Structure 1
């Protein structure tokens, strides 16, 4: 039987404990250099101009407080994702993320990329240094993931088996190269690529599920999916929990903390509702999504020992 769903952030540790988990593993969290963070937050402050609706950042605090917030929520490990929007930025972000992970025990080392000369070199160096997750943001980067400059990078990642969290869907805004049909070409050309479709491919949820069924290394993260905020504009199919049954082992926790315009608990409540809606999901599904599957992808199977 499922425990009672968490009522607020303070109630999350109780819920985790009653699920029999040591904590959460979040594959989609954002920590960036301070100068970049300010620019990202300024963008969301003008969300009504960009999206047509407000996007108040719920966790607008300093870096140390944000790390402590995740700890108090029961997040044992997380992937601090960064992403460039122009050439020459990715290598700098990788260096910053390495330093952040070194001083933040719960953070795993992450990297990112951009189609530019030298991308394979700095990515290979990052992999050699122990990177466990790579972020690709097609919409913000405004690049074609099929760019030949990226071919050796995709090959490196496929061989390494390091998960790539790819924001490649059309939500909340489409771009010149967004759309799951575009990124599927990258997946098809690199069969070993472990691709985590950010936001479950929002808003093309059905196509994302189809890709997970078609390719054995495709996963979907839960970031913002099914929350009341997102349901207003990009709602899930009514039978979403039933559709998840076939790919229950390919769903991983992601949240977009701290940029989310609501409390962290809202994402957890959404996942809880899916588990409760179909008896074939239940507690086993929650344990897999919240801890076991992302821990395996990030190679932190020892997360229960922290």
Structure 2
């Protein structure tokens, strides 16, 4: 176990998960919420997920550290865990690492959404010939959120092959959860500068910056302040695991509070090295108040995706 995250406890055994379910439910019940909406969870074809877990197990170069998977379960068990927690809606964040994968992943994700009513139909893309056509097909097929993984995909979000894709998604008003920050390890095209150039061309793009843009928190908050459709998800941010490596600057908390209507709960379930409830407690201990927590954990995503409790 890496000393950099020792002390953060992953779950083991049914009794631990039962206790955690009660803790998660107490969290949202105290806030008088009907449950949680998690915009950053991973469901994908089993053989793909197995390779992702193998990468984490081997401490691959994009992680660079020991990373135990807390919820290493089969698909039905993982779904049962989220439902027991009271997660009302979640995503199946799929992403390609090379050309030729995205359309196949979109087919799998569409089928998963059809058989999983509480999953928001998720899709993805890669800079390659035909990307606009299969993204349009996914939109026409009911996709409600897209995933762009600039770090793993190793591509420039400003690649000319993606320009019609971004334009299509901006026109459709479909959110794109984008791993574009340089954590946990920088990629060739990560960081705020490529995203700033993208947003200058597509200012109406509903871009959701994954992981709060860690470690370039301040620069991504700048973009959220500049562009009214930019949002950030909380995935792994503020947790003990991330605070040891890339702490969120305390001086930025007032800006985080002011942007409370555009922060969304994300967790990276099941690929996290600690208990799910720890993400919730990490948000709570920021001290930004119950109204902020209600918006982040339910209201903002409900409004964005047109779910019950999402405002007018």
Structure-1-length-normalised TM-score? 0.92
2:240 to 217, 228, 249: 228
Aligned pairs for 1:95-244 within 5 A: 95-244=107-256
CA 297–80 in structure 1, closer or farther in 2 if over 3 Å, else same:
same
Are the aligned partners of 1:9 and 1:263 in contact in 2 as well (CA < 8 Å)? no
Indicate which of 273, 291, 294 corresponds to 2:301.
Answer: 294
Instruction: Find the residue that maps to 1:27 and give its secondary structure.
Output: coil
- 2:303 maps to 1:284: no
Change (3 A) 1:249 1:61: same
1:261 aligned partner: 273
Say if 2:65 is the partner of 1:65. no
Q: Return 5+ residue gaps in structure 2 as ranges.
A: 1-18
Partner of residue 272, structure 1: 284
Taking the aligned partners of 1:54 and 1:187, their CA distance within structure 2 comes to 35
CA contact (8 A) 1:48 1:55 kept: no
For the Cα contact (< 8 Å) 1:135–1:166, is it kept in 2? Answer: yes
Contact in 2 for aligned 1:222/1:252 (Cα 8 Å): yes
Number of positions where the alignment pairs a residue of Structure 1 with one of Structure 2? 293
The answer (yes or no) to whether the contact 1:29–1:258 under 8 Å persists in 2 is: yes
Deviation at 1:239, TM superposition (A): 3.2
2:145–2:176 Cα contact (<8 Å) kept = yes
Aligned equivalents of 2:310, 2:77: Cα separation in 1: 22
Aligned-partner Cα distance in 1 for 2:71–2:252? 29
Q: How far off its partner does 1:302 sit?
A: 6.0
SS of the counterpart of 2:119?
Answer: coil
2:103 to 59, 77, 91: 91
Structure 1 113/49 Cα, relative in aligned 2: closer, same or farther at 3 Å? Answer: closer
Moved more, 81-90 or 236-245: 236-245
Q: CA deviation at 1:228?
A: 0.4
Structure 2 residue aligned with 1:4: none
CA-atom RMSD, angstroms? 1.6
* Equivalent in the alignment of 1:3: none
Residue 187 of structure 1 deviates from its aligned partner by 1.3
Task: Label 1:303 to 1:101 Cα distance change in 2 as closer, same or farther (>3 A).
Answer: farther
User: Are the counterparts in 2 of residues 9 and 264 from structure 1 also a CA contact under 8 Å?
Assistant: no
Give the TM-score, by structure 2 length. 0.91
How far residue 48 of structure 1 moved from its aligned partner, in angstroms, is 6.8
* Contact 2:62-2:184 at 8 Å conserved across structures: no
Deviations along 1:261-292, one digit per CA (max 9) or x if unpaired, are 00001110111112xx2xxx411111110001
